Structure 1
Amino acid sequence: MEDSSSGPDSGQVHDSSRRKFLVNSGYVLGTLAVGGVISSLFGCAKDGEDNADSSAPADDNKEAAAPNYNRALMYFTQAQFRIVEAATERIFPEDESGPGAKKLGVAFFIDHQLAGDWGFNGRDYMNPPFFAGEKEQGYQGRLKRRELFDIGLRELDNYSQTTHGKGFAELEPDQQDAALKAFETEEVKLTTISAGSFFKMLRSATLEGVYSDPLYGGNLNMEGWRMRNYPGSQMSYLNIIEKDFTKIEPSSLQAHLASH
């Protein structure tokens, strides 16, 4: 009796089945790895949630907004993110000049930086011995920046709970300002880190998030640059270099990468 698996088309059948299995497995593994990213690509919704695309009629006059994958946490917990978002908004608040740190996505910028080399002090010499340095020398300890943020955010929330009976993110703006000022002036005494050094690092990271290229998670829609009339990452100024001051639309590295 002839084995049907040895026929001339059996290899194609096996290859087809194998490819189908790998594709399906890839979707499953991808969903486990990145969660909502894959779900958004395939239009999936959680149980009990409405799918806006399927329930709403298509509007031919509006282009679908591209998903912004920079709005995903890489390091912070949700609780830490809320503290950072509230703190950075007090450091760089919204006013008549433009949006504040929250709308600019500064907390996402800091989160992404802590998840990378900056958070691991990847380019710093981190071997002992460790001695207390002068203020001009900056931090000289063994802890990495991500560890300093973990401790600083926890202590900021503990201080808020002790002082006002609420977490930092739940405080009124003037109470948040007072808490941050207490850290800046080192009125708050911490055992493991310097409260003033933590505030200085948080403030510097906030300003970097406001004015960095949107490619890195902050400066959403280049609004930070627009407030300064900064042109961003222009490829050339040849057509305006001999003209008087010209206000031009800023450009991000994202646009240049997309064009190549």
Structure 2
Amino acid sequence: MSLPNATAVLATLDSLQSRAISILKLSEPITSALHLDPASTATARTSDVSNSSLEAPTPASLEADLAHYRELFSKLRFSYVEQVTKEKFIRAIVGDPPQIVTPAQNLALEQSNATAKAQLKALKSDVAATVEELEELGRNLARRWEAVSTETAQLRELPERIEGLEESIDALRAAGHGDAAAGREMNLPLERTLELVEQKKRKVAELDRQIESLGATVPRKRKEVERLGAELATLEARRANSMAAAREARKRKEARLGGAEDDLEQRGRWWRAEEAVLTKMLEI
């Protein structure tokens, strides 16, 4: 991806992420349409749990809100059934004439209740499946949101990395690869470059094997070096002793001759010079 494209995509993502996305926000058109109904506004009820959830919706607050409303509607259903039953019973007693329910009517009512219960059970199953589907969809959306957030963070770093890579490429091109012989490998096509990389990898592997094989001989060579060092130390000690003995012997000899050694040395040099001259003259 080029730098302009990355910048454009990042700007689009920023514009999309600037808007708060939540189920409550998405449901505002529906709830606002319901609130416009005068009957609904007249009978609207307030709930501390729902207000807190609308102000700062979190998974925990939504769960608490759901539990609260389940309990509330359970109590409301029981109160409604009780109130309606009492009202019908009182009307049946005080009515003129009193309403007498026959067994046939009870049977028909039981059958209609059974049918309504079956329909209600089917609707509850559909609602439970829909709720489960929505929960799975919500989890998938949450995972996708996290993935988009991670990729957005990576995309923010992409322009800087692209600029750094382009600078590195320009530096490599200007560093010396103007020489055709030196820059021949840098101008190879992709296939040749991959072959060259494989060749370098094989060389590196061969060098690693050689290093490993040489590393196995290091302890033996180290022991040999230590042995030679010990022998060399012995020879050095013997050499130092020999030199000290030679100097001591020379001093004793000079002391016995009393300086005659220098005279003998000069006479020997003179005789050798005379011998060399005579030999050259006589061509012996």
TM-score interval for Structure 1 and Structure 2 normalised by the shorter chain: under 0.3
TM-score computed with the length of structure 2 as normaliser: 0.20
TM-score computed with the length of structure 1 as normaliser: 0.21
Bigger RCO (CA 8 Å, 6+ sep): 2
Q: Whose radius of gyration is greater, 1 or 2? A: 2
